[in-house]
Amino acid sequence: MAETVKREAACPESTRPGRFGAANERAGITFTARTNLTLIDLRGDPQDPQFRASAQSALGTALPLEPNTAGRSTHCAILWLGPDEWLLTARHSGFVNERLAISGGFLTDVSSGKAAWQITGPRSTDLLAKGCSLDLHTRAFPDGNCAQTALAHVAVLLHRRDNETFDLYCARSYSQHVWHWMCESALEFGYAVAAPVDL
């Protein structure tokens, strides 16, 4: 397996700090590009107790088995994608990779094919609601939940970290379209672009 290397940002303009749109006292939204992430697609049979036990041992926490939920260990977040599929997201520390010893698991590094941003602020839900058909009220989409959906006609994965904070993942090839849509849609709220991070 080739080692994961530091990648150029999928959308370089989303890494340039600044303040834009409505001049509110506090930006309604802050965008932070999540750079240099390791993203591993894990497939396996959740009915296989050996697979589940092996995954828990390797990852430090049990796989989330309920639809649209997520788990977290000290090393990574584990996002449910389907009945037999999860996305492992981690800082590029070397711990999470395709060589994890998970019996019956199939691991694929998809890091280079994805762009990711953290979207936070009091108007983050309002922004996403403009282009997403999901009910993002915390009653329907509580903290810790994740879901695959469409945003501005592009397939994305949303992970709600807390009431005001979401992680958004999309195919790298659509990153500029998604970024431009987010910026235009956020103008009325006032938005800030923070320096990129890999957390």
Provide the CATH number for the domain around residue 182. 3.30.1360.120
pTM score over 0.85: yes
Query: Tokens standing for 87?
Result: 């996305």
Predicted local confidence at residue 1, as pLDDT = 41
Distance CA(154)–CA(131), nearest Å, equals 10
Domain boundary among 82, 111, 140: 111
Mean pLDDT check: name the lowest of 52-61, 93-102, 109-118, 138-147. 93-102
- Do 117 and 107 reside in the same domain of the chain? no
- Do 48 and 98 reside in the same domain of the chain? yes
Predicted local confidence at residue 12, as pLDDT = 87
Phi, psi of 95 (to 5 degrees): -70, -45
- Do 86 and 120 reside in the same domain of the chain? no
Contact 175, 115 (CB under 8 A): yes
Mean pLDDT for 26-30 is: 93
- Do 121 and 31 reside in the same domain of the chain? yes
- Do 124 and 191 reside in the same domain of the chain? yes
Predicted local confidence at residue 91, as pLDDT = 83
Predicted local confidence at residue 7, as pLDDT = 59
Amino acid at position 9, single letter: A
Mean pLDDT for 27-37 is: 93
Per-residue pLDDT band for 6 (boundaries 50, 70, 90) equals: low
Domain count, the chain: 2
pLDDT over 50 (residue 3): no
Q: Which residues, in sequence order, are bridge partners of residue 167?
A: 118, 159
In a domain, 174, yes or no: yes
Mean pLDDT for 123-138 is: 96
Distance CA(40)–CA(31), nearest Å, equals 23
Predicted local confidence at residue 93, as pLDDT = 63
Query: Tokens standing for 101?
Result: 């010893």
pLDDT over 60 (residue 59): yes
Structural domain boundaries, residue 69: 37-111
Mean pLDDT for 138-157 is: 96
Domain boundary among 63, 86, 111: 111
Predicted local confidence at residue 75, as pLDDT = 86
